[in-house]
Structure 1
Amino acid sequence: MAYVTVQDLIDRLGEDEVHVLADRDRDGELDQAAIDDAAADAAAEIDAYLGKRYTVPLDATSVPRIVKRIAIDLTVYRLADIGGVGGTDPRRQRYEDAIALLKRLASGEISLGLGGDDGNGDAAGESTPEIIGDAITDENNPPRIFGRRNRSGWPV
């Protein structure tokens, strides 16, 4: 599922720039297949990073603005690379910035602001901690058997 449409590209870049990137045979018409391929590649790359933390693909009706911006930058980079237009330094820099942002999102350093990633352990792939006595545990971190307060081997 693509996170970017032709209209998103036109809104962000302008129609002339989109034609430079996606009019493969120079007939004045956009090559929809090239745009779809580049957008699908961008979506796959986004999903590969975000899949560590979120359920992907994201809901098409409510794609966060930051994901849309990343998708546009990745799609433009792919279109320029595949179409022989060339990845200019600004395009390359936006691509690298987008990847760095995806890495930060995947690590949880920053959030998409979706319901499940509020820091409470409810995002995809995380478990909700459980409090047992004065110890916090979850399925990835079971309670200690031996601790500072209890050396007998029984949980506190």
Structure 2
Amino acid sequence: MIYATVADLVARFGERELVQLTDRENIPPSEVDADLVETKIGDASAFVDGYVGQRYRLPLTGCAKPDGAGGVEYVAPPVLARITCDLARYYLHDDLAPENEVYRRYKAAVRELESIADGAALLACPWGGSPGEPLADDVQSGGGETLYEFAPRVITDDALRGFG
């Protein structure tokens, strides 16, 4: 699931900033390079999946948001949309100093993702429901099914005789 769109970044940070970050040729009339922004959004979404996938089955189903016509549309959980925007914005910048606001927001986003991955924070849908299926506590077990059993091995002098 892609968690944000070019329009989301424009709404959060303004078209002017995105033009400055993406218009490499700087020839008027300047405009947002949507392809570049979408690439960075894809990178950010993959980064988010690396953390979210430790707690939720991927791809997320999304939050069921009422569409105003009696139906629903499935959208990314708002917290992931915000985090993805912050990450994509960071990816669009070059050579940021650690004290830069964009860098601080990036670091805060990573801390939030770590909290989700650790189970200290859960994804929520403001319209109710769950954005996806939580994984079992033991992700590596494949649902609790034991695939192999190993007996402990005792190593003694007699067992090692002949090796060496």
Whether TM-score is above 0.5 comes out as yes
Question: Counterpart of 2:46?
Answer: 44
> Which residue identity lines up with residue 23 of structure 1 in the other structure?
D
- Tell me what 1:71 maps to: 84
Alpha-carbon separation, structure 1, partners of 2:103 and 2:22: 17
Corresponding letter in the other structure for 2:25: D
Amino acid at match of 1:26: N
**1:108-123 map, 5 Å:** 108-113=119-124, 115=129, 123=134
In the alignment, what sits opposite 2:117?
Answer: 106
Identical amino acids, percent of aligned pairs: 34
Aligned length in residues: 122
Q: How much has 1:67 moved relative to structure 2?
A: 0.3
Residue number in structure 1 paired with 2:102: 91
Q: Residue 55 of structure 1: CA displacement? A: 1.8
Q: Find runs of 4+ consecutive structure 1 residues off by over 4 angstroms.
A: 114-117
Asked whether the 8 Å contact 1:24–1:30 carries over to 2, the reply is: no
Q: Deviations for 1:36-77, whole angstroms, at most 9, x for unmatched residues? A: 211111001000011010122323622111100100000000
Partners of 2:4 and 2:76 within 8 A in 1: no
In the alignment, the residues of structure 2 paired with residue 116 and residue 33 of structure 1 have an alpha-carbon distance, to the nearest angstrom, of 31
Q: Which amino acid aligns with 2:96?
A: G
Distance of 2:38 and 2:24 partners within structure 1: 13
CA drift at 1:20: 1.1
How far off its partner does 1:18 sit? 1.3
After TM superposition, the structure 1 = structure 2 runs for residues 2-151 of structure 1, keeping only pairs within 5 Å, are 2-27=2-27, 28-59=30-61, 61-81=74-94, 86-88=95-97, 89-113=100-124, 115=129, 123-126=134-137, 139=144
**Higher relative contact order (CA closer than 8 Å, sequence separation 6+):** 2
TM-fit CA distance, 1:125: 3.1
Whole-angstrom CA distance in 2 between matches of 1:43 and 1:104: 17
What is the alpha-carbon distance in structure 2 between the residues aligned to residue 19 and residue 51 of structure 1? 32
2:83, 2:109 within 8 Å by CA — same for their partners in 1? yes
Amino acid at match of 1:112: L
TM-aligned CA distance change 1:116 to 1:64, over 3 Å:
closer
Q: Report the aligned-residue RMSD.
A: 2.4
CA distance in 1, matches of 2:48, 2:117: 10
Report the Cα distance in structure 1 between the residues aligned to 2:23 and 2:118, rounded to whole angstroms.
37
